[in-house]
């Protein structure tokens, strides 16, 4: 990816979004594999059919696997190679339209190639409905859409019970509401204003990421992002049936392009700890 090529291709926007949000492209001749991620996948196949792998739940990420063959009209090229891209446009619970790339541009031997990639959408804990459609464009001005014949693609979201919510507020206070129970669930609601450092942008898009780290009873550490671009996204954590306590802490950094900037919010190294009933 060459920064001087930015103005020439709609794929630059997609690539910048992918870099900022941590989505990685699959090889050009391969279908992206979600194996081991644990996240459900919405498949949009080349023959026009759709399928759902796994269960779409509120508070969880969902992956979008779109075959570019469904939108094959806009395939512009320039002296560097492919200059086209496809994005998903979506609404959560009828809210504002958001855009996310489902293709990426890779450069090899001086030639740009558009490849299929997984789009990853983080659903809020209270999400009930997901609506989406797809747009293909190239630098010639070509525009085409896949909208399920104008109805858009509609998905209802399962609502598992959420029993507790930990809120980390901008004034450096923390509150736990509800009942944090074994076998239940905890929502982490983190205000990004607590970590104002490292707010780098990449080609006009936020390139920073805040991760929540957590572990139960001193066990393995897990992590998940709590922002998507500049937007804070509450996350849901399932509580094991035998857990006694949970520790949480947070970091901000710049995954791509790496700058070395990072900062911690860990209660001065003690971590934020909650007992589990």
For 169-223, write each residue's pLDDT tens digit: 999 999 999 999 999 999 999 999 999 999 998 767 788 999 999 999 999 999 9
Tokens of 74: 């806009």
Q: What CATH number should be reported for the domain whose range is 164-275?
A: 2.60.40
Q: How far apart are CA 180 and CA 186, in angstroms?
A: 7
Structure pTM? Answer: 0.65
Of all residues in the chain, what percent are helix, strand and coil, respectively (each to 5)?
A: 10, 45, 45
Give residue 18's region: left, alpha or beta (phi > 0; psi -120 to 50). Answer: alpha
Q: For the residues 62-78, what does the mean pLDDT come to?
A: 96
Longest pairwise C-alpha distance within the chain: 63
pLDDT at residue 18, as a whole number: 35
Q: How far apart are CA 207 and CA 104, in angstroms?
A: 16
Tokens of 119: 């789009």
pLDDT bin (cut points 50, 70, 90) of residue 35 is very low
Q: How far apart are CA 235 and CA 241, in angstroms?
A: 19
Q: For the residues 39-56, what does the mean pLDDT come to?
A: 95
Cβ(125)–Cβ(167) below 8 Å: no
Q: How far apart are CA 112 and CA 110, in angstroms?
A: 7
Average pLDDT over the chain reads: 85
Coil, strand or helix at 9: coil
CB proximity list for 238: less than 8 A, separation 6 or greater: 184, 185
Question: Going by DSSP bridges, is the β-strand pair 119-122/41-44 parallel, antiparallel, or unpaired?
Answer: unpaired
Q: How far apart are CA 32 and CA 42, in angstroms?
A: 12
Cβ(114)–Cβ(104) below 8 Å: yes
Backbone dihedral angles phi then psi of residue 16, each to the nearest 5 degrees: -65, -40
Q: Which of 37, 200, 233 shows the shortest CA–CA distance to 125?
A: 233
**Ranges of each domain in the chain:** 3-156, 164-275
pLDDT bin (cut points 50, 70, 90) of residue 84 is very high
Looking at the predicted structure, is the pLDDT value of residue 148 above 90? yes
Cβ(112)–Cβ(82) below 8 Å: yes
């Amino acid at each position: 990816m060459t920064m001087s090529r930015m103005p020439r291709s709609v794929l630059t926007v997609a690539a910048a979004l992918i870099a900022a949000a941590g989505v990685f492209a699959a090889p050009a001749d391969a279908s992206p594999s979600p194996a081991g991620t644990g996240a459900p996948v919405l498949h949009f196949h080349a023959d026009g059919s759709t399928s759902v792998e796994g269960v779409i739940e509120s508070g969880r990420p969902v992956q979008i696997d779109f075959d570019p063959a469904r939108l094959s009209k806009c395939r512009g090229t320039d002296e560097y190679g492919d200059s086209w891209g496809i994005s998903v446009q979506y609404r959560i619970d009828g809210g504002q339209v958001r855009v996310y790339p489902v293709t990426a541009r890779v450069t090899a031997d001086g030639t740009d190639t558009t490849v299929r990639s997984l789009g990853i959408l983080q659903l809020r804990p209270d999400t009930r409905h997901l609506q989406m459609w797809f747009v293909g464009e190239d630098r010639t001005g070509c525009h085409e859409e896949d909208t399920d014949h104008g109805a858009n693609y509609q998905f209802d979201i399962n609502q598992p019970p959420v029993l507790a919510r930990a809120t980390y507020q901008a004034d450096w206070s923390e509150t736990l509401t509800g009942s944090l129970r074994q076998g239940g669930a905890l929502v982490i609601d983190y205000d990004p204003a607590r970590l104002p450092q490292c707010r780098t942008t990449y080609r006009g898009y936020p390139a920073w990421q805040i991760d929540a780290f957590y572990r139960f009873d001193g066990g393995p550490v897990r992590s998940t992002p709590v922002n998507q671009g500049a937007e804070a996204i509450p996350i849901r954590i399932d509580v094991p049936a035998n857990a006694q306590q949970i520790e949480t802490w947070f970091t901000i950094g710049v995954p791509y392009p790496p700058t070395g900037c990072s900062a911690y919010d860990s209660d001065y190294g003690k971590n934020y700890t909650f007992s589990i009933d």
